[in-house]
Amino acid sequence: MQSDAKIRTEYGTDSSPQSPGCSLRHFACEQNLLSRPDGSASFLQGDTSVLAGVYGPAEVKVSKEIFNKATLEVILRPKIGLPGVAEKSRERLIRNTCEAVVLGALHPRTSITIVLQVISDAGSLMACCLNATCMALVDAGVPMQALFCGVTCALDSDGTLVLDPTAKQEKEARAVLTFALDSVDQKLLMSTTKGLYSNAELQQCLAAAQAASQHVFRFYRESLQRRYSKS
């Protein structure tokens, strides 16, 4: 089978007059690069890179089967060391986000397994994992009601907002907020935050994330258009 690896890159920018730090790093996405999984994708955001593989819908263990929906399972492997409690927590976040979006009712009593491997971590890891998961699910042909994307915002000590922070910016930030937004009406699907922040700052970050997600969704669309127009 011919592997159809397409690399599509785009520089996503969203610079608003009041906050010059609001710009996303360079994205790149490659699909269908692994031969064994039903779908796979590698997503790059700046220097952060995550590889995702999707197996499914496939057979499920009787103990885990759900009679009217597909069972989703997420395995996240860190770059170094054994997976720990933090990975379990992230797996739960990604799994619940996918469960909200994947049309599990079309494949009852099956399992959809998503395996993520962190290749390099240079900030915004959770967002990159979410983006890679979405692209891999699309590549596998799993029916979904919407696409989703991850966006990370960091608030530094004087309250300036930085989108898609690097590892250094995340470390120095007062708060780091990661959101998963859906493509239909940018509703908040998942949120995980670190640090202290006020309600007003939360609204500001959410608005910035919703604006940034438009770039990510446009990138998804162009990437998929490029891929399917050739074949």
Binding map of other proteins across residues 162-191, x = CB under 8 A, - = no contact: ---------------x--x-x--x-xxxxx
Name the DSSP letter for residue 144: B
Count of beta carbons in the 10 Å neighbourhood of residue 184: 12
Report d(CA 19, CA 23) in Å as an integer.
Answer: 9
Q: How many residues bind to other proteins according to rule CB under 8 A?
A: 35
Q: Residue 20 phi/psi, 5° resolution?
A: -65, -15
Angle of CA points 86, 104, 83, to nearest 5°: 15
Binding map of other proteins across residues 192-211, x = CB under 8 A, - = no contact: xxxxxxxx--xx--xx----
State which residue, 51 or 93, has the beta carbon closest to other proteins: 93
Closest CA to 159 of 124, 192, 208, 123: 208
Q: Residue 9 phi/psi, 5° resolution?
A: -120, 150
Indicate if the alpha-carbon torsion angle 220, 221, 224, 227 is positive or negative. negative
Hey, which residues between 78 and 97 contact other proteins (CB under 8 A)?
85-86, 88-89, 91-97
Binding map of other proteins across residues 111-150, x = CB under 8 A, - = no contact: ----------------------------------------
State which residue, 51 or 205, has the beta carbon closest to other proteins: 205
Determine, following the binding rule CB under 8 A, whether residue 1 of this chain makes contact with other proteins: no
Q: Which residues lie near other proteins (CB under 8 A)? A: 85-86, 88-89, 91-100, 177, 180, 182, 185, 187-199, 202-203, 206-207
